[in-house]
Every structure is written in structure tokens, then in C-alpha cells.
Amino acid sequence: MRQVRSQETNEDREHRLAYNREQTAESRASESSFNNETRLATDRERHALSRASETLTNYSQRLKVDRERHIESRALETFTEHSERLTADRERHAESRASETFTQYSDRLTADRERHAEFRASETFTECSERLTADRERHAESRASETFTQYSERLTANRERHAESRASETFTQYSDRLTADRERHAEFRASETFTECSERLTADRERHAESRASETFTQYSERLTANRERHAESRASETFTQYSERLTADRERHVESRASETFTECSERLTADRESHAESRASETLTQYSERLTADRERHARSRASESFTQYEARLAADRESRSVSRTHETQQEHDLRLELARGYYENSLQHRNELLSLQRERVQAIRSNETESERAIRLQADRIRTFINRSPTFTPPSMDRENYTDLPWVDKENSGFTYTFNIDYKNKKIKVRNCSRV
């Protein structure tokens, strides 16, 4: 049959493939669900038995032939046939995966990971680069023709699939996956040129901007919450060494990325950061605001506690240089706007301080409005004595015995709400009266 097919023309081959597709579709359309499951199980066992006995050479040749056959077949199909094929593949995959149990699902994922790992371990760097390039082109071609509805459905399906996959993995598998991802990203990015790095970052920014522009506020909040929980879970399990290495890698990556950006890109990045921060903080509650500030303080304290004096000096010098560069390139309008914002911040701080003082005065007035005459007399007498002690190093109380001072609550250092005075013996709770005249 191979000899006959090698002699057939391209038109005969297309007719044969079309006839096979129609015959297969007609056969599968009339089969019951039980027959479909039996056929799929038989196909899986047959494929597994066939591939278990093949050598690495046969395996590589089979993959190579499959790639060439797929490329040749897809190069001749029209856009309509391409769309119909993708739609049929999606429906077939969905139908197949909808009927599989959780055990079959886990086994399939495990087999896919092992198969991918075995295949990628035997490929050369050139084959790896060609595969990645072909994947990017294929993904770009596929996504360029999809509508916004298909785009949203694909993202939703991917999120659900990733969530379902990661919900069933153990902590060991989770750590192994993160480690493998880091090594794969590091290996891939170490071999890319500066132009490829810039193009990748630009494409990522555009893709993220396009994805986030279409999400609702609810999806935006859920994404931020999921990211915070994922980051917290990931960082809770890392050691101090891994924590330090992650901070060092982040600093180097940020320095390298920002060293290559122009002033316009820097301004656009800062503007976008300010807008995203403002939008995020405008929707947070007071509890979330307090938790964010507390987490920031703890994170900054932990980060700065682990840095050496050289890193501390370098950080301060970098901050000064960045502020100097930023203010050197700002226009007079931006300068006035920055000063105006600083004045507004200062005025808001003063207003907040005055409001706190007003609340304290109201609280004191409310407390004093409810006190009795005897409590008021005791408070006034204690205030007079405290004022005399604070204003003069020596005094002689005119109308109270020395033993009565030990009954005042503020004489006790532990219960005192005032400042320390050397005229009071806090240990014996007595007042020392010195025999010297007032200066």
C-alpha cells in the first residue's frame, strides 16, 4: 500500500483523504456511546502497545513522518477547512475528556508530561528552537483568526483547566513544576538575543494589556486575589536562601530591563503603574488598605534586614539617581504638578492631624462631661500637682500632707500617663521635697 500511495497524485490523495474522513465521520456518527468508549479504549491500548515496543530511532522517525505529513496536509487546506478542523478537534477533545474519570484524567496528564519530557530530552538545540518558532507561528496564526468570543472562551477554558490540574497536584508535584518552569524559562531566555528579549517583552505587554482591557471588575478582583494567594503560598514555602536569591534575581532583572528603556518608555511605565495603583486602591476597603500597608512594611523590613551595608548604600544611591534623572527630564508643567501634589499631600496630612486632635478633644470632653464633682476635683488637684512638678524642680505643696501623694494614681510609674519626673521616687511612690529655693 505504501508503494501505491507513493505513486498517487496529489489530487488522488486529496480524494482518498476526503473519502476516509467522510467514511470515518459516518461510522462514528452512528455508533453508540458504549461503542465509542470501547473504540477509544482499544485505540489507546493499541497505541500504547505499539509505542512501548518501538525503539528511540523508530520513535523519532515516526514523529518526523507525522510532522511532515501534518505540514503537507495543512499547507493544502483552505481557511474554512482549517477552521472546521480546529472546531472538530476541540469538540472531539471535549467529548473525550468529558467522559473520562479523574483517575484517567490524572493518568493522561502524567503520560503527557512523561512523553513531553522524553521527547524534549532527546531533541537538539536546533530542533528545540525550530519547535518553539513553529509553535509561536502556529499559535499566532490560530489566534489571529479567532473572534473575541472565541478568545474569551479559550481564556476561560484555559483558566479552568489550569485550576483543575493544579488543584489535584500534591505539594511535591507543585514544587517540581515550579522548579522545572524556572529552569526552562532560564534556559530559554539565556539563549535569546537582546532583540528577541525586547520583542518578547513587548508582545507580553500587548497581550496582557489586551487581556486585561476586556475583563470585568469582578474578574479583575478575582485575578488579583488569586495572584496574592498564589504568591503567598509560593513564598511561604521558600527558604531564606531561595528568598534572597529571588530578591537578587528580581533586582538584576529590573535593572537590566530599565537600563534598556528610553525616557518615553520609562514615563509611560510610571504613568501606567500610577494609574493601575490608583485604580486598585480606589476599590479596596479600609481593612484591605490596612492589611496592604502592614504587609508592605513587613516586606520592606524583611528585605532591608537581609541587605548588607553595600547593598544599602547602592539602593540609596540608585534611588537618588533615579529621582535626579526623573526630575531632570521633567517639564515645568510636570514640576509644578509634582509640587502641587506634594502640597496637597502635606495639607491632607495636616487636615488628618487636625481631625485626630479634634476627635481627641471631643473624646476628652465626653469623658469629662460624664464625671462627677468629686472625680473632677480629684482630677484638677492631680493636674495642679503635675503642673507644679513639671515646671519647677522644687516645690512645697501648701495644702496636702506628704502621705496623701502616694494615693495619686499617676505617681505609680506603671500606671502613669505622664512623663518621668526626677522629683518622684517611683520605687517607694513618694515625692522628694528638696530644701532649696526656687530659681
Q: How many domains does the chain have?
A: 2
Other beta carbons within 10 angstroms of residue 386's beta carbon come to 18
Choose among 173, 41, 56: nearest CA to 100.
41
* Whole-model pTM over 0.85: no
Q: Please, which contacts does 164-172 make with residues 24 or more away whose CB atoms are closer than 8 Å?
A: 165/109, 168/102, 168/106, 171/237
Distance from C-alpha of 128 to C-alpha of 254, rounded to nearest angstrom = 28
Helix (H, G, I), strand (E, B) or coil at 410: helix
| pLDDT tens for the 439 residues of the chain, in order | 554 666 778 788 778 888 888 888 888 888 887 888 888 888 888 888 887 888 878 877 888 888 888 888 777 788 888 778 888 888 888 887 777 888 887 788 888 888 888 877 777 888 888 888 888 888 888 777 778 888 788 888 888 888 887 787 888 888 888 888 888 888 877 888 888 888 888 888 888 888 888 888 888 888 888 888 888 888 888 888 888 888 888 888 888 888 888 888 888 888 888 888 888 888 888 888 888 888 888 888 888 888 888 888 888 888 888 888 888 888 889 889 888 988 888 888 889 889 988 988 898 888 888 888 998 899 888 888 888 877 765 444 455 454 555 555 554 444 455 555 555 555 555 545 444 433 3
Please indicate, yes or no, if residue 54 is contained in any of the structural domains: no
End-to-end CA distance of the chain: 122
If we measure between CA atoms, which residue out of 186, 193, 189, 197 comes closest to residue 261? 197
Residue 400 resides in a domain: yes
Which residue, among 397, 371, 367, 392, has the nearest Cα to 382 in the 3D structure? Answer: 397
Q: Which residues of 99-138 are buried (b: 16+ CB within 10 A; e: fewer)?
A: eeeeeeeeeeeeeeeeeeeeeeeeeeeeeeeeeeeeeeee
Q: Which of 329, 352, 383 is the last residue of a domain?
A: 329
CB 166 within 8 A of CB 174: yes
Tell me the one-letter amino acid at 368: R
In a domain, 378, yes or no: yes
β-strand partners of 32: none
Q: Residues 82, 74: contact at Cβ < 8 Å?
A: yes
Which residue, chain included where needed, has cell 500610577?
274
Strand partners, 147: none
Instruction: Please answer whether residues 431 and 405 qualify as being in contact, where contact means their C-beta atoms are separated by less than 8 angstroms.
Output: yes
Q: Which domain holds residue 401?
A: 373-431
- For residue 429, the model assigns a pLDDT of 52
Confirm if 294 and 302 have CB atoms less than 8 A apart: no
Kindly state whether residue 23 falls inside one of the protein's structural domains: no
- Within-domain flag for 25: no
Quote the CA–CA distance of 376 and 364 in Å, as a whole number: 13
Q: Establish if 377 belongs to a structural domain.
A: yes
The answer to whether position 292 is within a domain reads yes
Residue 380 lies in a domain: yes
What pLDDT is stored for residue 4 in this prediction?
66
Separation CA 75–CA 345 (nearest Å): 63
Q: Which of 271, 298, 329 is the last residue of a domain?
A: 329
- Final residue belonging to a domain, choices 294, 329, 364: 329
Nearest to 197 by CA among 206, 205, 189: 189
